[in-house]
Amino acid sequence: MDKINKNYIYIAVVVLIAGGLYFVKSRDKDMALEVIDDNLPSEEVVDSNLTASLISSAPKKMMTLKIYFPNATMAKENKDACQEVFPVNRSVVETIAPARVSLLELFKGPSNEEKELGFETAISPNIEIQKLTIADKIATVDVNVLTDEDNNPCKTDSARKEIEETLKQFLTVENVHLSIDGVMEKETTE
């Protein structure tokens, strides 16, 4: 009797697995497997370089982020140009990690159209987020490099201000702690 019950169990398991595979295959013919960069924290990491996610061809919900860059043509003469940044809007796919995505957009630098309007960046094109946390209205950001001109205090101040203002657009951020390879820069409060 035990052998008969085991056979029924095996048959039931096979039917369930086969039915489940058929359901996954047939439930949405517009689905595709996409391999994307590992910068999206909401995806399942397959290995250190790639992320795999199941995506749909349905329209994606978008959101607008403010990205802050210096702009010499917009800067006021009586202000410190190293500390003055101005927002541009970037439309991105809605995410559960808007602070990280806003920094990634910032690190891309101004678009060609934005450059024509006078926007620039002091941030190194080699910058990478090593750590980003937000707790108690403090964003803690660790990057590998800030600028390509470490001996230029104006560039350093400008790059820092770009990051700070880009993060302060969020209600969850009032202060920014910035570090480079774990070495803390000055804290900002306003």
Residue-by-residue pLDDT tens, the chain, 190 positions = 565 666 666 665 555 555 554 444 444 444 444 444 444 444 333 344 444 444 556 788 999 999 999 998 888 775 777 889 999 999 999 999 999 999 999 999 999 999 999 999 999 999 999 999 999 999 999 999 999 987 899 999 999 999 999 999 999 999 999 999 999 875 554 4
Q: Global pTM? A: 0.68
Contact in structure between 144 and 180 (CB atoms under 8 Å): yes
Task: Using the CB atoms, write b or e for 89-126: b if 16+ within 10 Å.
Answer: ebebeebeebbbbbbbbbbebbeeebeeeebebbbbee
- 3-class DSSP state of 103: helix
